[in-house]
Amino acid sequence: MKRMPLGVSRLDRMIGGGAPTGSVVLLAGESGAGAREFCYTSAVMNGLVEADPDLFDLYYGDLESDVTLPEDVHYVSFTDEPSAVVEEMQFVMDEALVDAGMDDVRFVELAEEYFQLTPVPTDWYADGMADITELGSHNERTDVLEALGEYLTDHATDNLVVIDSVTDLVAAADDRLDWSDLTVLLKGLKRASHRWGGVILLLVNAELLGPTELGRLKEATDGTLLFEWESGGSERARTLVVEQFRGVLSRLEDEDIVRFETEIHDGGFDISNVRKIR
């Protein structure tokens, strides 16, 4: 089974080098528990492989043998500008690391498709749109799900794609999109991604979803990484649980691993401790 690095070195080593190629992975978590930082780390580290091998080796180390590197890295956002995302990354990670890694990452905005049927003034989101010619004109498309689907069709093959975030689509489903349209799109994405051979990361804030909604998102993906806060005495710790995940969960179960303690430092998201079944 071919694997593509997720960009978190300790986790990648534990699961044989990364996520199985063709996977759609849901990153679901509580606010601030590490899901977004995981996305940042994955994009930056995979972008860094070719952009600055020395810096990659310093922060990540050696890649596992026989891993499949993404041909390109794409970061898709519905509501944020590239500069805002990069600035937030620099609050989390070393600035030089972010600058070098994001140089090789293609940032794609779908803000026009997302906002155009809302009361939001056009000049709040249309100025400075990146690569908008490739996404079609305002008159040609009115559906953000259609825009996302077409972009993935054109660019997801053999690539790492970070989608930031499904939470935005969930919010739009309340009044402009049908929830069923979103879940059907994700099920179709799961099917297509197996042929494309890359890895797609879907970020979602689990606190905004009910159990049924979150369950449907899990069902529509190949694996779920659940990011949570755990209290112990006077301190809180970030934790990561790997839920259903083809080709990954079995490896962790063989080692009796049930939960990871995590941390966020200059190198981004990381595993700090492993909880095993006693």
In terms of Cα–Cα distance, which of 201, 212, 134, 151 is closest to 179? Answer: 212
Q: What is the pLDDT of residues 113-149, one digit of tens each?
A: 888 766 666 776 776 444 433 444 444 445 888 999 9
Alpha helices by DSSP H, the chain: 9-14, 35-51, 53-59, 82-92, 95-102, 111-115, 132-135, 144-155, 166-173, 179-196, 211-219, 249-254
Give the chain's domains with CATH numbers: 3-276 (3.40.50.300)
CB atoms within 10 A of CB 240: 23
- Compute the distance between CA of residue 226 and CA of residue 165 in angstroms, rounded to an integer: 15
- Compute the distance between CA of residue 224 and CA of residue 42 in angstroms, rounded to an integer: 15
- Whether residue 88 is predicted with pLDDT greater than 90 in this model: the reply is yes
Q: What is the pLDDT of residues 8-27, one digit of tens each?
A: 999 999 999 999 999 999 99
Task: Please give the pLDDT value at position 139.
Answer: 41
User: What are 71's two structure tokens?
Assistant: 């041909």
Tell me if residue 169 falls in helix, strand or coil. Answer: helix
Q: What is the pLDDT of residues 152-183, one digit of tens each?
A: 999 999 999 999 989 888 877 766 667 888 88
Higher pLDDT: 44 or 256? It is: 44
- Whether residue 266 is predicted with pLDDT greater than 80 in this model: the reply is yes
In terms of Cα–Cα distance, which of 70, 232, 246 is closest to 160? Answer: 70
CA distances from 84 to 22, 107, 170 (A): 30, 11, 21
Task: Please give the pLDDT value at position 174.
Answer: 61
- Compute the distance between CA of residue 25 and CA of residue 248 in angstroms, rounded to an integer: 11
Is the separation of the CB atoms in 241 and 11 below 8 Å?
A: no
Task: Please give the pLDDT value at position 48.
Answer: 95
Task: Please give the pLDDT value at position 235.
Answer: 76
